[in-house]
Each structure stands twice: as structure tokens, then as C-alpha cells.
Amino acid sequence: MKTTRKRPIGFYIAGSWLSLIVFFSIFGKLLPLPTWDASDYEALGLKPFSSGHLLGTTMDGYDMFSGLVNGSRISVFVSVISVGLGGAIGAIIGISSAYYRGRYDKFVVLLFNVMLSIPNLVLSLALISTFASDTQDANASTLRRVVVLIVSLTIVIIPLVGRIARASTMQWTSREFVIASKSMGTENRMIIRRHILPNVAPAMLAIAFLAIGSVIIVEGSLALLGIGIPGGASWGSMLAAGRLNLEFSAHEVYLPALAIAFTVISTNWFGDYVRNSLDKREAKI
Amino acid sequence: MSSILRLENLSVSFQTPRGSLAAVRDVSFELNEGESLGVVGESGSGKTVLSRATMGLLPGTATRTGKVSFLDKDISAMPRNEVRDLWGTGMAMIFQDPMTALNPVRRIGDQLMESLRVRLSMPKKEAKAKAIELLKRVRIPDPEGILRKYPYQLSGGMRQRIMIAIAVSCEPKMLFADEPTTALDVTVQAQVLELLSELRREFNMAMILVTHDLGVVAGHTDKIAVMYAGDVVEFAPTRQLFKNMKMPYTEALLKSIPRLETPTGTRLPVIEGRMPDPTKDEPGCPFASRCAYVTDKCRAEKPPLIDNNDGHFYRCWFPIGGEK
């Protein structure tokens, strides 16, 4: 007896946008588009909807559309990896601390609070300028930048997801079915895997969607500060490069900004949707 | 008959912000193999804590003292993982509320097969066959179909039967039933109790049946322990207790069961007043303030557990039937 609930229109809009971004990030390289990092000297600063360049070009002749497609790859890669990694570590720490309690739990709470008190932008700034900044002799490689960026974002995500996982686990651990399973002699690890995790997962999924949104924003902000992924490879760095030409070709700025905005709104919306359907499910139990 | 469970001076207290709360005080009794004991008392009298403390399933805020022996082994001194080996296969528990004691996001089959696969390391096929057999035994129609269902798709009575099937799946020697019928309606109550008695005979299980309803234990237990404010106030074989009760509290409990004969319109008899504050240790009988036969001695001094020399124990200075 499955009841199909009518989904709100926003679900489809957000869903299509996100699938489009994911599609571009995976298959972008296979599409018949101009190369994103090669300049077309015959088409400098074209407005959007010009022939040959769907979304125009920059003042330096780079194709905007291929730039955005390529940027989606970087953005999706960075946000999915850091949220996935941070979420997994946060979930393990959060669930285990709420389940076993005691001194370990107190330590974890303290650790999360300390981590949350560090502004994420400042943390990323510090890490990147320490470990992946350009020196006089050589520029830091893109790979190094990306890795340090991901690590710093992961550190930010851990307490975010961990706190939610901990709170949710506490609520489920005192449920009777957990005690019931325990009373049958099931081991703690098995109880966590079979009884706690499936119940905690939706809450973590909801927060993970919100986290993806904020990671994209942070990446954009860092690029604007000049320490993002170099060479205009991500949406943020396109924006950073384009802002110099704002008065001549505004679309260099607003197109990547729109891409960031749509993506963040969509992930936030998705996170809300997951949380809402979770609340409805809770009410039924 | 050999002893399966022996409690010696079992006490449980909880650390609360208002001080130490004595939930169970100095309880001792013995239960033989295959026997069933009813633990009766009002809400907050410590009956649930007693059964959980016996198994070792207390939360971290509780302290347990005294000795619990299961099959002549002192399990109160055992390390936790050894006690856990006894859970499920040695002793198992049925919980009060079948609505919350099943995991809402997992199928009945997975939950029923969990302990079979984990505790008895059965292969999946065998576990499934056994699960179907168990469901048939607790009289659930269409067992194959039920295995694929989620808890919310079943009625309260069916869920309680599934809880029972899970509890007996590893054929424990001892079953704790913590108010198994409280959440069910009266017609289903009788069926579930009958089922429990039947399974008990079949597997030769001992059982502790916790309930607040004297009527429930009457037909399904060999012995009864009446609890009040953490104390066992009367302990006797079931027949003996109903024929010759000594405690005014037991009598008051029995009187407060509604009867068909009472004319409509009469108010139901209640036990006036409330239980004493469990965080305070006041002198005198804890029941003194509510007892119909109270004397000055009751208010001054707490009665000990008196042995009547026929398996009947009571905690009263002036038992019913004795000279006043």
C-alpha cells in the first residue's frame, strides 16, 4: 500500500537544476563545446546568445558556457568529496559518542564546539595560505590547492554533521526497540549499524544537502579573495576574474553568480524537502 | 526442581538531581525452572526496574547492589560481555509497548531473523524457515507475507505477538514479560496471555510477568510478588495469596479492580493518596498514609518481611486475618 504524495513544483525545479549540474560535471568534457581555457581571438567580449558562443565570451575571448560547464565539474567535485568525507567522519564520531556516552562523549562535544567556533572562511584562508600558497619561485599547483581546499572544508563539515548525528542518535538510542535488540544479546556495533544508522541517516542527508550549498559559497568566497582554484577553473574563480571587466561585460560576473545562486538555492531547497518529509514520517511513528 | 533465578538483597537506586532515588529496595526471592512469578504493583512501585535490573539492562544512571544468580551462576559479578551472551539465549524480555519496541524502518522479517542469525549463527534460509515457524507458533496468519511488512502495517496485537516471537526465538530458559498486555485491548490481552502460558509450557520456560493488574496474574502464574514503593510487600503462591492475603495493600489492589456485579453509578474504589517520595527515606511503613488499618506503630517503624513458614511472606505489623 504505497501512497504517492504529490510533490511540490520546487522539487522538480531544484531536481532538474541539480541533475543538469551533475550531468555537466560528469559528461561536460564529451560535449561539443569550445575548449574552456583556450581564447578565441576573433570573439572577444561577445554578449550572450551570440553565434558560436551560446553565453558569450569574456573580454579575453574565453567561452562562457564551456567555462561554466567546466566550473560545475570543479564545484561538484569539491563539494561532494568534502561533504562526503566530512559527513562520514562526523557521522562516525557523532553516532559513537551519543551511543557510548561517558567521557568520550564529553570530549567530542567540547571538540565540536571548538571546531564550530572557528569561522570556516578564516580556517580555509589560513590552511591554504600556509600549505598551498604561491611562492616567489613557483606557483602552487592546482591539485595542491584543491586538496588543501577539500581538507579545510572537510574540517568544517565534520562538527556540522557530527552534531546532528549525535543529537539524532541520542533520541533513537533511548527507544525501546534498541533496548529490545540489546536484550536479545545483539552487539553494540550491530545495533548501531542495523537500528541506529537507518534512523539517523535521513537527518544527516538533509544537513548534507545544506552543507553542499555552503561549501559552494565558501569556495566562491575564497576565489574572490584570490586564494581559490587558480586559472578561472571554478565558478568562484570565473567570478573573481570577471569582476575586473564588470563595466564592459557584466555577464562575465552575473552568469557564474547565477550558477552559484541556483545551485545553492536548489541544494537548500532539497535539504528542506528531505527534512520536511522526515518530520512527516516521524509524526506517523 | 532446580533453581533458575535467585535474587539476594537486590537494590537499585538512581542518581537524580534531587538525590538518590531508591527504586527497588532489598528484594530477595527464588524462582524454579519452569515456574512463573507475577510481579504486581501500581505505577512507580519498581516492578519494571526490578525486571530490568535482574537482566542487567539498566541505564548508566542506575546503581545495582545485591546478588543475582541465574542457573547457579552469579551474573551480577560477571563482566558485561559474558552477561550479554546470556541475553536472548538464556533470558529474554518482552516489552510493554509493541508500538515502540520494533524498529519502524526495518522489515519484520529482518528484525525477527536478526537474533537467529547473530546469536545462533543460522544461515539465511534456515533462519527464514525458523522465523516462519515462529510466526505460525504465535498464530500469525500468512507468515511469509508478514515477514516483508513494516511494523506500522500491523495491529498492536500482532506486533506484540511478533515481540513474543522475537523473545522466544532463541529458546530462552527465562522470560521477562514487562506489562505485555498493557497496550492491548481486553480481548487481545487474554489471547496474548494464553499464548505466553502455552509457550512457557512448551519450552519449559520460567517467566516473570510484570503487571499492574491482579486479574492478569491470577490465572497465569505460580507465585505472586506484590511490590509497593520499591519493596516486595507480599510474596506467596498464587492460590495462597488470593485465598489468604495478609497485606492491606494487596487487598486494596484487589478491591480496586472493577467488577461486573457492582451496580452502575457506584464510584470505583480507589487507593487514596500517593506513594511516598522515593528520594526520601522516611521512618514507618511506606503504606501507612494510605492504609485503612493504620496504627501508631505503623507510622513509627517499618515492618520487616515476615515469614509465615508456608512460602508466604508479608511486610505488615497487623496482617489481615491475624489478631488485631
* ipTM for the assembly: 0.79
Q: Which of B269, B306, B230 is nearest to B42 (CA)?
A: B230
Contact criterion met (CB below 8 Å) for A82 and A154: yes
Mean pLDDT of A275-279: 76
- The residues in A 186-215 lying below 8 A from B, measured between CB atoms, are 186-187, 190, 194-195, 198-199
| B102 to A285: CB separation less than 8 angstroms, yes or no | no
Q: Any idea what the Cα angle at residue B34 is, between residues B33 and B35, rounded to 5°?
A: 95
Over 80: is that where the pLDDT of A59 sits?
A: no
List of chain A residues whose C-beta atoms are within 8 Å of the C-beta of residue B106:
194-195, 198
Determine, yes or no, domain membership for A209: yes
Q: Which residue has the higher pLDDT, A49 or A209?
A: A209
User: For chain B, give me the number of helices (H) and strands (E)?
Assistant: 11, 12
Q: What's the pTM?
A: 0.77
Question: pLDDT tens digits for chain B (324 residues)?
Answer: 688 999 999 999 988 888 888 899 989 999 998 899 999 988 888 888 999 899 888 877 788 999 999 988 898 888 888 888 888 888 999 988 887 888 888 899 999 998 888 888 889 999 999 999 999 988 888 999 999 999 989 988 889 889 999 999 988 999 999 888 887 788 888 888 888 999 999 889 999 999 888 888 888 899 999 999 889 999 999 999 988 888 889 888 888 887 778 788 888 788 888 888 888 878 888 888 888 888 888 888 889 888 888 889 999 888 887 654
Is B60 an interface residue toward A (CB < 8 Å)? yes
A189 and A115 Cβ atoms separated by less than 8 Å:
no
**Beta sheet of B313-314, edge-to-edge order:** B91-94, B174-178, B206-211, B36-40, B223-228, B231-237, B313-314, B306-307
| Whether B192 contacts B184, CB under 8 Å | yes
**pLDDT over 80 at A138, yes or no:** no
Element at B313 (helix H, strand E): strand B313-314
- A 10 A CB-CB count for B67 gives 14
Instruction: Kindly state whether A144 is in contact with chain B, defined as any CB-CB distance less than 8 angstroms.
Output: no
Distance CA B210, CA B205 (A): 16
Distance between CA atoms of residues A92 and A104, nearest Å: 13
Chain B contact set for A1 (CB, 8 A)? 153
Q: Is A45 within a domain?
A: no
Does some domain include residue A205?
A: yes
At B324 the pLDDT is 45
Q: Does residue A20 lie in a domain region?
A: no
Asked if pLDDT for residue A4 goes beyond 70, the answer is: no
Q: Which three cell numbers stand for residue B264?
A: 452502575
Domain that holds residue A278: 77-284
Domain segments of chain B: what residues? 3-90+170-243
Q: Convert the pLDDT of each residue in A203-242 to its tens digit.
A: 888 889 989 988 888 888 888 887 777 665 788 888 888 8
Task: State the residue for C-alpha cell 560535471.
Answer: A25
Residue A107 pLDDT grade (very low, low, confident, very high; cuts 50, 70, 90)? very high
Residue A67 lies in a domain: no
Which chain B residue's Cα is nearest to A191?
A: B114
A278 to chain B nearest CA, in Å?
A: 12
Q: Which CATH class is domain B3-90+170-243?
A: alpha beta
Q: What is the pLDDT of residues A25-46, one digit of tens each?
A: 888 777 777 776 776 666 666 6
Is A164 within the bounds of a domain? yes
Q: Does the residue A222 lie in any domain?
A: yes
* A158-189 tens-digit pLDDT: 999 999 999 999 988 888 889 888 888 888 89
Instruction: Measure the CA–CA gap between B230 and A155, rounded to whole angstroms.
Output: 50
Residues 6 or more apart in contact with residue B240 via CB below 8 angstroms:
B310, B311, B312
Identify the pLDDT of residue A40.
Answer: 67
Nearest CA in chain A to B168: A184
Considering only alpha carbons, which residue of chain A is nearest residue B59?
A174
Position B83 scores a pLDDT of: 87
**Using an 8 Å Cβ cutoff, are B56 and B74 in contact?**
no
Beta strand B223-228 with B36-40: parallel, antiparallel or unpaired?
parallel
Question: What is the chain A residue with the closest CA to B93?
Answer: A183
Could you give the angle at the alpha carbon of B83 between the alpha carbons of B79 and B87, nearest 5°?
165
How many domains does one find in chain A?
1
**pLDDT on residue B38:** 93
CATH number of the structural domain spanning residue A256 = 1.10.3720.10
Helices (H), chain A: 9-27, 64-100, 102-117, 120-131, 142-173, 176-183, 188-191, 197-224, 235-242, 251-284
Quick check: B82 contacting A, CB < 8 Å?
no
- pLDDT value, residue A1: 43
Grid cell of A180 as nine digits: 529490545
Most trustworthy range by pLDDT among A63-72, A105-114, B283-292, B296-305: A105-114
Strand partners, B6: B30, B69
| C-alpha cell belonging to residue B43 | 505505577
Amino acid symbol at A13 = I
Residue A54 lies in a domain: no
